[in-house]
Amino acid sequence: MSILRRVFPTFAQSVCNPIVSYLNKVKYTAKMSKKTALLLIAEGSEEMEAVITTDVLRRVGIDVTVAGLTENPCVKCSRDVKICVDAKLSDAVNQKYDVVILPGGLNGSKAFANSSEVGKLLQQQEQENRLIAAICAAPTALKIHGIAKGKKITSYPAMKDQLTDYYKYLEDKVVIDGNLITSRGPATAFDFSLAIAEKLIDKQTADDAAKAMLYKN
Amino acid sequence: MSILRRVFPTFAQSVCNPIVSYLNKVKYTAKMSKKTALLLIAEGSEEMEAVITTDVLRRVGIDVTVAGLTENPCVKCSRDVKICVDAKLSDAVNQKYDVVILPGGLNGSKAFANSSEVGKLLQQQEQENRLIAAICAAPTALKIHGIAKGKKITSYPAMKDQLTDYYKYLEDKVVIDGNLITSRGPATAFDFSLAIAEKLIDKQTADDAAKAMLYKN
């Protein structure tokens, strides 16, 4: 027993140290590689589309920053739900994001279209080959800022006529063309979010999140 | 012409006054009969369930008050979305609502279960035969407050075992039993909200809202 008492700690250490070191490395790598999303909201953004997307992406482990276009810390959405932002856009743009997301809502989308700061952000995101995602009325803001000309796209049905001269318009619930993901409206926001999750992480993670939310598309 | 100028105003008045009076009455009745909802949120409430329900009910013209349990004007939900309330519960309970709604989220539901103010509100709502609606984990709070014993109910699947001794448990997306509407989770929140809309207004209005949101259940 005395030999065991002397030998075992050294033995245990020699086995355990590499395991602990490996686990720390995995943890560090996971932290380093955590995907990031910037979701913009403006007065009149569609709150379901903003919140479903934020919630689903956080469920799959994506670090989502909800950023407002103005100084206002809380933003009144299209059906008067008031959502507090995590950051102002002017501060949030100091870092890069794996995806920039525009929820819909008519007035919110107009605010995105009218913002040169949003235009600059989207153009840089496109030039650097990172993901852009827009749903409902928001694809109209992409066109205004000259994003993804000629690509396959969808939107809220009423916006179709504004987009067909600039994009290949499809009517699927979610359309993915390279680094562009677009979708149609509140009821397709789950599919939209899960498509972003699958693109940034993997299908299994997206499927697991869908199951936990009782979602069958 | 001079006869016309003298007679016409009197004639026009005799025709128009009853019409104006009727329209004012319709407007007044519509205002008086606008349905009202009280949706509670607490730290840890599921934000998708809270926001989908609020948004859908406002789309169909229901006057929704989002009320928080505490003094905090903004509530941090289960996936860190911060929603500003319209009122504190202690102020909101000064009026009656056609429906009281509890969104899910584990910690939010526990807060509802632990609040005697919520218990009192639900018990009064039940005694006065008005609608109660709960989704996901929130039906567990109904049981704690002794609401709707023996009625047909559903919930998030993981909560089933806590509820089967007190209710007739079903696994439908939405279960309606008298003045109780329950549902299962984030992805059934559209069906849940539309069921409340249909119960308080009518099927056509709910169907129109579903169509505008591109929702097919």
Calculate the alpha carbon distances from A154 to A46, A52, A157, A181, B9 in Å: 17, 19, 8, 9, 56
Section A189-212 average pLDDT? 98
Q: Residue B175 pairs with which residues in a beta bridge?
A: B182
Contact A55 B185 (CB under 8 A): no
Calculate the alpha carbon distances from B217 to A31, B195, B210 in Å: 39, 11, 9
Contact A214 B187 (CB under 8 A): yes
Residue in chain B closest to A214 (alpha carbons) equals: B187
B34 touches A at CB < 8 Å: no
pLDDT at A1: 46
B79 neighbourhood in chain A, CB within 8 Å:
54-55, 58-59
Residue A10 is encoded by which pair of tokens? 């050294």
B214 touches A at CB < 8 Å: yes
Q: DSSP characters for chain B?
A: -HHHHHHHHHHHHHHHHHHHHHHHHHHHHHHHT--EEEEEE-TT--HHHHHHHHHHHHHTT-EEEEEESSS-SEEE-TTS-EEE-SEEHHHHTTS--SEEEE---HHHHHHHHH-HHHHHHHHHHHHTT-EEEEETTTHHHHHHTT-STT-EE---GGGHHHHTTTSEE--SSEEEETTEEEE-SGGGHHHHHHHHHHHHS-HHHHHHHHHHTT---
**In the β-sheet with B99-102, what is the strand arrangement from edge to edge?**
B87-88, B63-68, B36-41, B99-102, B131-135, B180-183, B174-177
Residue in chain A closest to B171 (alpha carbons) equals: A214
Range with lowest mean pLDDT among A132-141, A162-171, B18-27, B157-166: B18-27
A166–chain B nearest CA distance, Å: 24
Q: Is the ipTM of this complex over 0.90?
A: no
Angle at B137 between CA A50 and CA A188, to 5 degrees: 30
pLDDT at B22: 54
Q: Which 144-183 residues of chain B touch chain A by CB within 8 A?
A: 156-157
Contact B187 A48 (CB under 8 A): no
pLDDT at B56: 98
User: What is the distance between the alpha carbons of residues A86 and A84, in angstroms, rounded to a whole number?
Assistant: 7
A184 neighbourhood in chain B, CB within 8 Å:
214
Compare CB distances from B186 to A80, A187, A213 and report the shortest one's residue: A213
pLDDT digits (tens, 9 = 90+) for A13-54: 665 565 555 555 544 444 457 999 999 999 999 999 999 999
Catalytic residue set of A: 136
pLDDT digits (tens, 9 = 90+) for A46-103: 999 999 999 999 999 999 999 999 999 999 999 999 999 999 999 999 999 999 999 9
pLDDT at B33: 77
What is the identity of the amino acid at A23?
Answer: L
- pTM for the model stands at 0.87
pLDDT at A17: 62
Q: Which 51-70 residues of chain A touch chain B by CB within 8 A?
A: 51-52, 54-56, 58-59, 66
Q: Which residue has the tokens 């852009």?
A: A132
Calculate the alpha carbon distances from B139 to B76, B110, B161 in Å: 21, 10, 12
Contact B51 A47 (CB under 8 A): yes
Angle between helices B47-59 and B189-200 (to 10 degrees): 30
Residue B12 is encoded by which pair of tokens? 């026009």
Q: Residue A177 pairs with which residues in a beta bridge?
A: A180
pLDDT at A87: 97
Q: Is the pLDDT of residue A181 over 80?
A: yes
B187 touches A at CB < 8 Å: yes
A210 neighbourhood in chain B, CB within 8 Å:
187
Phi, psi (deg, nearest 5) at residue A64: -100, 125
Phi, psi (deg, nearest 5) at residue B100: -110, 130
Catalytic residue set of B: 136
A193 touches B at CB < 8 Å: no
Helix segments in A62-185, DSSP class H: 89-92, 106-114, 116-127, 139-144, 160-163
What is the identity of the amino acid at B171?
Answer: E
User: What is the distance between the alpha carbons of residues A61 and A199, in angstroms, rounded to a whole number?
Assistant: 13
B216 neighbourhood in chain A, CB within 8 Å:
187
- Mind listing the pLDDT tens digit of every residue in chain B (217 residues)? 455 556 555 555 665 565 555 555 544 444 457 999 999 999 999 999 999 999 999 999 999 999 999 999 999 999 999 999 999 999 999 999 999 999 999 999 999 999 999 999 999 999 999 999 999 999 999 999 999 999 999 999 999 999 999 999 999 999 999 999 999 999 999 999 999 999 999 999 999 999 999 998 6
Helix (H) or strand (E) holding A147: none
Longest dimension (CA), chain B: 85
Phi, psi (deg, nearest 5) at residue A67: -120, 140
Q: How many helices (H) and strands (E) does chain A have?
A: 9, 11
Phi, psi (deg, nearest 5) at residue B61: 95, 10
Nearest to A56 by CA among A162, A144, A188: A188
pLDDT at A6: 61
Contact B51 A81 (CB under 8 A): yes
Residue in chain A closest to B60 (alpha carbons) equals: A79
